[in-house]
Structure 1
Amino acid sequence: MKNFALYIFLSSIIILSSCRNNDPEPDKFKNGTNEYVNNWIYDNMNLYYYWTNDLPDKDISGENPEDFFYSLLSDQDRFSWIQPNFQELLNSLQGITLESGYEFILYNDRENANGVIGQIAYVKKGSPAENVGLKRGDVFTKINGAALTLDNYTDLLGNISQNHTLTIERYNFEDNTFNELGNFDLYAIQFAENPNHLDTVYSRNGKKIGYYVYNLFSVGTDSDSAAYAVEMDEIFANFKTEGINHLVLDLRYNSGGAERATINLASLIGSNISDQDIFVKREYNEGLKQALINEYGEESLNRRFVSKAANIGNTLQSPQLTVLTSSRTASASELLINGLDPFMETFIIGDTTVGKNVGSTSFYEEDNPDNNWGMQPIITKSFNSLNQSDYDLGFYPDIPLKDNDLVKLELGDINEKLLKEALIYLAGTDEASRKVSYNPIPSEDIMGSMELKRRFGIYNIDLNN
């Protein structure tokens, strides 16, 4: 079981101080019922859940585990979830899903009231989508030959976790029209996304600007638990060698992930920080808070920066950090912005972020064939070193700019909409940036594939660290 030793110690809280009405006697669960799993859900929620005082009295009979779990949630909770297979939950938090390796956004079709247009937001490195030549900005109107509509798109999206076909059109910048490319056959595999999507350095008007696209807070995979963090360190070591003056951090497609990865990135960026400085303070329910303090001390409520030789914060000029955001920027991404705010000037370009200032952890029983469920309940609220946590409605951008055009340039292109705005803000224009090679087609988005992923909006913490 996840956090097993900690659970054994803290479970006494349930027995001594958190008993509720109608508790069943231990080990007397009816065969063929959901009582054992529901009891496991309730006991963990009773101990760890941030809004534990809002839990109803214990009644584990009747409901299937999913319905039972959601019946326990506070009205303030937008983010806790449960799923039948805990391994799928753990994989999703590491960026491992059954997919073809692309993210997309759906838009209303301006020429067809009931029509829906899909657009590729980005293609993942080494994926089946990259291998068949799919590109950011490609649009699709059909999945497996069926046209997308407002009535059927949710059903058709169920096919993308299997082998499937997209009917693709690509924008031609020479004649400003979309050209049909036909059907792209895409294979679905168990794919691990490398979150370090793109890094480069631009020189403009005497300034060097580092650009880093980071799409998921993950330190590594099961086979190499620190691979992504090591690669991130190498990227920032290169930024340091290049002597960049500004950093543009692109989090528009980053909806969260692991706290460890967040601290690693913050420690590479932060100005005038040391491993003695607090990055985030955790607030728990009162019973859990006191148990942690009694066992591990007050310091167990804090997470500090770590020392990084590749830190670039002290060489950056104002504004030291420019963040590109969207309405899908969430959780650990917001934690990063909030945690760095006391130490450096942050400037935001894009859309208002989701507004998730709470964190969760994974609960599961690894070696119990009677319980394959995994749950991810909210257990903590996060504050920065100045005790600030006022972003539950999201971070509002300094320069509002939606990335909602049907015509998109590749990430990293100096004329790509959000990056172009950042480069002009930081270093002015140059000849290349003054070129306008296409007519924007702003559109109203319906949803994105990021929202379909279980990891959307996750700030995943490890209680054992």
Structure 2
Amino acid sequence: MRKIILLAVSVLLNACGGGGDITAPTQLCQRTDTNAKIFCALQKDYLWYQALPTTIEPANYATPQALLDAVAEPQDRFSFVLTEQEYEDRYINATYFGYGFATVRADNNGALQLIYVFDDGSAAQNGLRRGDKIVEIEGRSVASWLSQLDAGKITNDDIYGPNVAGVVRNFVWKKPDNSTLSADLIKRDVATNTVLHTSVVVQGNKRVGYLVFNSFIELSEFELEQAFAYFVQQNINELVLDLRYNGGGLIRVANQLSTQIARNAVQGQTFVKYQYNDQNSGKNNTSLFSLGAGRSALNLNRVFTLTTGSTCSASELVINSLAPFIDVVQIGEPTCGKPVGMQPDLINNYVLFAINFQTVNALGQGDYFSGLTPECAVASATTGDWGTANDPLYATALAYIAGNGCNQQAVATSMNRMLAIKPRSTAPWQVNNEQ
């Protein structure tokens, strides 16, 4: 369980606390209650430990997460606590309970547009795909459901049903061609695939691979190997790596992916340098590029990365670590800005994910707390399934490969649209409604 991880998930801002005795932090490490042990761990390992309160009573906080929210450094949008079971479900078993899709609101809250669909879910098995718009659930319009949800009159369980195996909801959706379909979807455990799409297109004398990658977990090692074995067999000489919804995960998987992209250019070179707080400077170390669990690799001298504000953590690490060695053409929107990471710490029945190191590349670059800025600034939009020709990010990558650079006309149009996008929240990667 003690694996180096870069993660980007939401922090639940439900801090609570109050009166009661105040305990000196030095005394807390003698106690066995969970909150005291968590604060003790923060004193030792937290990257910003010097900003912690000098006096505190952890027992005054109802949950470990509430304690962490109350004491975290203001710039820390990333630290969090899970139960052991939540950790196993999310990062080891790669399962969750639902129908197997993620949506964003569309058409002025008149529809829910699918941005990705997991292969194992009831949604995929009934024909729903990225780009489809759900317009009706259980005989009621999505507009009506969302209006009541926003008014606080109902919950997501009222819309999608409780988390009970076998719950059925009828969905009506429109395809991008405006045809309408409907089906009964069944809620159950869904195994999530982290490689959402692979394809190859021929453009002139180029064979362009397209890989949509959604998270860096243990399952990804196998799925990435399958994807790159396919790309090697297809003899691709350009790669578009779509990280627009990828919030991060295991650093070793980020290393595998990076090495599979550009093996010859990075072999024996520094992938990442870890920098801990001054109490733990002895842990500072360097990790070299490595295929890890991978076997198949390309030898590309450039890669195109598609990014948004939901591109975070290990996804940013791939971009930053490859940049000193190959041409990394970033297309889309600025990333979330997380050049830091954590080593999970098992404390009683909880797993603490508190930021305890910063990462820099071979050139010592890593202060991108405001995000990595794209070379080609293009606003993301969902126009259909993966690989559709009018997807603005993917189309810009293909245009660049064809010799048209960033396609300035498209970029200008997209920049105008980007001005209308609301500022990123404190949890910029949390944009998806997974059900």
TM range (shorter): 0.7 to 0.9
**Judging changes above 3 Å, is the alpha-carbon distance between structure 1 residues 151 and 244 closer, same or farther for their aligned structure 2 residues?**
same
* Aligned length in residues: 384
**Unaligned segments of structure 1, at least 5 residues:** 4-18, 30-35, 110-114, 221-227, 293-297, 366-370, 430-441, 456-465
2:323 aligned with 1:341, yes or no?
yes
- 1:49 deviation in Å? 1.0
1:325 maps onto 2:322 in alignment? no
Partner SS state of residue 152, structure 1: helix
Q: In the alignment, is residue 169 of structure 1 matched against residue 147 of structure 2?
A: no
Measure, in 2, the Cα distance between the counterparts of 1:25 and 1:401. Answer: 50
Distance in 1 between residues matched to 2:349 and 2:400, nearest whole Å: 51
Aligned to 2:253, the other structure's residue is in SS state helix
1:55-454 superposed matches below 5 A: 55-57=52-54, 58-65=56-63, 66-83=65-82, 85-94=83-92, 95-107=94-106, 109=108, 115-144=109-138, 145=140, 147-149=144-146, 152-153=149-150, 156-158=155-157, 160=160, 162=163, 163=167, 165=169, 167-171=171-175, 173=177, 178-182=178-182, 184-220=183-219, 228-270=220-262, 272-290=264-282, 292=283, 301-307=285-291, 310-313=296-299, 316=300, 320-365=302-347, 371-405=348-382, 408-427=383-402, 451=430
Partners of 1:119 and 1:104 lie apart in 2 by: 5
How far off its partner does 1:236 sit?
1.7
Indicate the RMSD between aligned Cα atoms, in angstroms.
3.1
User: Is structure 2 residue 28 aligned with structure 1 residue 53?
Assistant: no
Could you tell me how far apart the structure 2 residues matched to 1:215 and 1:204 are?
Answer: 26
Uncovered stretches (5+) of structure 2, i.e. residues with no partner: 4-22, 405-416
Relative to structure 1, is the Cα distance of residues 373 and 180 closer, same or farther in structure 2, using a 3 angstrom cutoff? same
Further displaced range: 185-194 or 49-58: 185-194
Offset, 1:124: 1.0
Which secondary structure state, in structure 1, belongs to the residue aligned with residue 124 of structure 2?
helix
**Contact 2:324–2:363 (CA<8 Å) still a contact in 1?**
yes
1:165 Cα deviation (Å)?
A: 3.0
Q: Tell me what 1:26 maps to.
A: 30
* SS of equivalent to 1:44: helix
Question: Where does residue 36 of structure 2 map in the other structure?
Answer: 39
Query: TM-score scaled by structure 1?
Result: 0.74
Give the partner amino acid of 2:89. Answer: N
AA at the equivalent of 2:181: L
- Which residue identity does 2:68 align to in structure 1? F
Cα deviation per residue 1:96-135 (whole Å; 9 max; x = unaligned)? 22222111112360xxxxx453110011112221112212
Amino acid at match of 2:286: N
Cα distance, 1:20 vs structure 2 = 5.1
Q: Distance in 2 between matches of 1:50 and 1:25?
A: 18
Q: Distance in 2 between matches of 1:309 and 1:93?
A: 23
Does the Cα contact within 8 Å between 1:143 and 1:165 map onto a contact in 2? Answer: yes
Structure 1 residues 172 and 40: CA distance shift in structure 2, 3 A: closer
Three-state SS of the structure 2 residue aligned to 1:149 is helix
In structure 2, relative to structure 1, the CA distance for the partners of 1:97 and 1:172 (3 Å cut) is closer
- The Cα shift of 1:421 comes to 2.1
SS in 1 for 2:81: strand
- Distance (Å, rounded) in 2 between the aligned partners of 1:453 and 1:59: 36
State the Cα deviation string for residues 117-166 of structure 1 (Å, max 9, x = none): 31100111122211122121121245553624366248543555734636
CA 1:289 to 1:187, structure 2 compared with 1: closer, same or farther past 3 Å? farther
- Equivalent position SS for 1:419: helix
- Tell me the TM-score normalized by structure 2: 0.79
How far residue 416 of structure 1 moved from its aligned partner, in angstroms, is 3.2
The match for 1:7 is: none
| Residues 360/142 of structure 1: CA separation in 2 closer, same or farther (3 Å cut) | farther
Q: 1:195–1:216: 8 Å Cα contact kept in structure 2?
A: yes
Q: Which runs of 4+ in 1 moved over 6 A?
A: 442-450, 452-455
Aligned to 2:412: none
Structure (1 or 2) with the larger CA radius of gyration:
1
The AA in structure 1 aligned to 2:349 is: N
Name the CA distance, whole Å, in 1 between partners of 2:70 and 2:78. Answer: 14
C-alpha distance in structure 2 between counterparts of 1:119 and 1:75, whole Å:
33
SS in 2 for 1:280: strand
Identity of aligned residues (%): 27
1:389 Cα deviation from its structure 2 partner: 0.7
